[in-house]
Amino acid sequence: MKNYKIRFAFCFLAVTVFVAAFFLNPALMIDGVSKGLSICATSVIPSLFPFMVLSDYLIRSEFIDFIGRIIDPITKTLFRLPGSAGCAVIMSLIGGYPVGANMIVRLLENGSITQNRAKRMMLFCVNAGPAFVIGMVGTVIFSSRKAGIILYLSMVIASLAMGIFLRVFDGGEIELKTGKTEFRSGVLNQSVVSGTNSMLYLCAWILLFSCINSLIESVNLPDEIMLWIKMITEVTGGCAEAAGKYPVSVQALVMGWSGLSVHCQLLPQIKETQVKYQHFVLSRIIHGGLSATFAGFLFRVFPCETDVFSTTSQVFPQLYSVSVPAAVSTVILAMMLTAEMTNLIRKKNNDEA
pLDDT tier at 166, thresholds 50, 70, 90? very high
Residues 6 and 190: their CA atoms lie apart, in Å, by: 40
Q: Which residue has the higher pLDDT, 112 or 4?
A: 112
CA distance 63 to 93: 19
Q: Is 243 helix (H, G, I), strand (E, B) or coil?
A: strand
Q: CA 14: distance to chain centroid?
A: 26
pLDDT surpassing 60 at residue 326: no
In the predicted structure, residue 3 carries a pLDDT above the cut 70 = no
Residue 153: is its pLDDT beyond 80?
Answer: yes
Q: Looking at residues 228-239, what average pLDDT do you find?
A: 88
If residue 201 lies in a helix (H) or strand (E), which one and from where to where? helix 187-217
Q: How high does pLDDT run on average in the chain?
A: 81
Q: How confident is the model at residue 351 (pLDDT cuts 50, 70, 90)?
A: low
* Entry pTM: 0.80
CA 60, CA 233: separation in Å to the nearest integer?
34
Residue 313: per-residue pLDDT: 43
Residue 139 phi/psi, 5° resolution? -75, -45
Nearest Cα residue to 48 out of 202, 162, 193, 186: 202
Selection from 200, 210, 268 nearest residue 235 by Cα = 210
DSSP 246: B
Q: What is the pLDDT of residue 310?
A: 45
Of the listed ranges 149-163, 184-198, 217-231, the one predicted with least confidence? 184-198
Span 8-50, pLDDT tens digits: 665 666 667 666 766 677 787 788 888 888 878 877 787 788 8
In this model, does residue 240 exceed pLDDT 80? yes
Q: Which residue has the higher pLDDT, 248 or 44?
A: 248
Write out pLDDT tens, residues 286-296.
999 999 999 99
Residue 19: burial class (beta carbons within 10 Å; 0-12, 13-18, 19+): exposed
Residues 6+ apart with CB under 8 A from 151: 133, 134, 137, 138, 248, 249, 251, 252, 255, 291, 295
- Residues contacting residue 241 through CB under 8 Å, at least 6 positions apart: 226, 227, 230, 231
Q: Is 70 exceeded by the pLDDT of residue 211?
A: yes
Which of residues 136 and 70 earns the better pLDDT score?
A: 70
Cβ contacts of residue 325 below 8 Å, gap of 6+? Answer: 51, 94, 95, 129, 130, 131
pLDDT mean over 323-347: 57
CA 143 from centroid of its chain's CA atoms: 24
What's the rounded mean pLDDT across residues 88-111? Answer: 90
Query: What mean pLDDT is predicted for residues 254-274?
Result: 93
Q: What is the separation, in whole angstroms, between the first and last Cα of the chain?
A: 67
Going 151 to 152 to 155 to 156, the CA torsion angle's sign is: negative
Q: How confident is the model at residue 340 (pLDDT cuts 50, 70, 90)?
A: low
Is residue 152 within 8 A of residue 133, CB to CB? The reply is: yes
**Contacts for 258 with CB less than 8 Å, ≥ 6 apart:** 97, 126, 128, 235, 284, 288
Per-residue pLDDT averaged across 193-212, rounded? 86
Distance CA 54, CA 103 (A): 10
Domain map (residue ranges) of the chain = 28-345
Spatial distance between the Cα atoms of 298 and 54, rounded to a whole number of angstroms: 32
CB 179 within 8 A of CB 62: yes
CB 32 within 8 A of CB 211: yes
